Structure formats: structure tokens, C-alpha cells
Structure 1
């Protein structure tokens, strides 16, 4: 299984906001499962916000890879509820869902890491809405000292969106690379 060693095995990476620009679905799933495994090894709860098209494959991988006890620490959520339920990319709705899910996990008194596959209905989202959302998310992640990956399909990103996301995330991840964002302005 090909995964990115830097995010999956580095003990130095224990918090931060990551922009994952993915191209290959199988690498994406391998990296997600590695992210879950690393979180479980660190005794963290994991919130995965994922596309309904990909959820069945992720569930199958989780069922195959992890024990019943480990699966209790993994929460899977359909990303439609986050990004599309109240129209296309409504920041307040997204943040309300996120805080509700984190609140549920916080009751278990443990560290949390998150992974979100971000999508939108329109051909391209409003850059200002996306910037508002990711800026708020970046402040939240820094404030909580947690790990949060925001995954975007590379083919859905214009060069403007890609640059904006690099400015709003401390780290950048691709299917086979992981590095500090040279454009981050947090």
C-alpha cells in the first residue's frame, strides 16, 4: 500500500491544518486509512467527512482493517450534510455541523483529528466563501491544537482556488508528497 510517510508515520506531525490535493482515488483511500491508523495509535477519535460515493469503499476498508473496539473511535459522516444541505457551500451550516460533531466526540474526553473531503455543487465555489470557511477552520484547528486534513479533488480546483488553499493551510499534501506550505499566511 502506497502512503505518504510524512503524515502517516512522522511523530513530529501531531497538529496542523493540511490541504490535500488528491488525484488518485486509491492513493487517497490508502492515505485516509493510514491517517485513521495513526490516530488510533495516538488514542485519538477520528471524524471523517466523506462523499457518499466514497463512503462504502472507506467503510469496507475500515471493516477489514480495524477491530470492533477501534471502530468505536471513528465517526463517518456524509459530506452532503456539511457542504450542500443548505445550498452550495454555506459556511455557517458547515461550521455548525462541524462543531456539533466535535462536541459529540469531545464528550469522550479525548484528542480528535479530522479529515474532510470538501465538495460543492456549482462548477466552482465562491472563492470568498471558501476563503472565509478555511480561514475560520484554520483558526479553529490552531486553537484546538488538532490535526485536520481538508481534501480536494485536484480536477475541481482552479489555479486561483489552489493558491488560496495553499495560503490558508500550514501543510500541503498530494498523493505522494507532504510539505510545509510556502504560501501559508496564518
Structure 2
């Protein structure tokens, strides 16, 4: 493991303990730097594999080989088969646009074999978009729907967003749609406003 991995692994284990009595966890990962992001992704995958989870891992093709190489140094070849990788642009931009109903259908198709076979699983999705795009409304629709789905699929689902790309308005939307906030340094519960 790498520096800081034990702390994150402990925090991920704490979330897993919460899951023993709850209905799943929807985690917003606010990514600041690539190196700790890779460390955290590796810890998340390895912790899941050690627990027997299947992992739906949605990542870009720049980072995935680096993450997979590190995971491969820590788990067996057989355990690597528990990782189900999808390129994030294929996943989120399937029809050339960020269309929440299409993404949700693809998400459900991707996890339904785990649900049907009653396998434990976790997901990790790195959401990216082109600079000129304004997609706050679409992301809100997607994340709200995933947040409603989580109790039914009983999984930990991490949604990673690059902090430099997230406007103040989008950050508020994301915080409202998730139960946990993960940063490069740790994980905490998001306090919800009572109305």
C-alpha cells in the first residue's frame, strides 16, 4: 500500500460497516490532484476485492492503465477478474451527449447481473466533459436518479469529479445528491439541510 492508503482504507472500511445496516452509500469524490486520486482508486478497488465485491469501474483511458497496474501488484490475476472496466466517455457520452436516461439505462444494464445474482458490488465513475459544456442540469438529473437507485442496489457508488471543472453551482448540486464527500485526503458524511 502507499502512504495514506491505510487511512483511506480504514475510512472505506468504516463506510462498509455502515452498509451492514444501511441501504448503500453514494459518495462524491471531489478530486484535487491525480496522484492521490490514483492512490484512492487503488485502495477502493483492493478493499472491494478483498471483501469479495465486483467492481464496476468507469474511468478514462489515460488513468485506468496506471490504476490497473497498481491494483495488479496487490491482488491475484483471478481477483482482477472482479473488475469490470468501462471507458468513461463510452459510459457517459454513449450517444454523443450526456443524456441521463441513456446513462441510467447503461448503468442499470451494467449492474443488473450483480443484482440478479445477489453479488455484492461497488461502483466508481469518473465524470468528465468538454470545457464548453454547461451540464449542471443534466448532472443533477443523473445524480438524483442514482441517489434514489442506491438503496435498491445496496452498493457503495463513488462519483468522481475534477474540482477544477466544478462550478460553485454544480458543487452545491453534487453535495445535495450525495451522502458522503470524499477528497484526496479522506471521507466524511455530508450534513443535509433540514427544511
TM-score, structure 2 normalization: 0.87
Name segments (4+ residues, structure 1) moved above 4 Å: none
| 8 Å contact from structure 2 (residues 9, 47) kept in 1 | no
Deviations 1:116-148 (A, max 9, x none): 001123434322111110000001112222110
Q: 1:56 & 1:132 partners in 2: Cα distance? A: 30
Give aligned pairs, total: 185
* Match of residue 132 from structure 1: 141
The answer to whether 1:165 aligns with 2:179 is no
Contact persistence 1:45–1:73 (CA under 8 A): yes
Structure 2, unmatched stretches of 5+, are: none
The runs of 5 or more residues in structure 1 that have no matched partner are none
Q: Is the CA contact (8 Å cut-off) linking 2:179 and 2:189 kept in structure 1?
A: yes
Partner in structure 2 of residue 20 of structure 1? 29
Q: Among 103, 112, 118, which residue is 1:103 paired with?
A: 112
Assess if the C-alpha contact under 8 Å between 1:124 and 1:156 holds in 2.
no
* Corresponding residue to 2:73 among 64, 79, 89: 64
Aligned-residue Cα RMSD (Å) equals 1.8
3-state SS of paired residue (2:98): coil
* Structure-2 separation of matches of 1:170 and 1:44: 21
Q: Please point out which of 40, 44, 50 is paired with 1:35.
A: 44
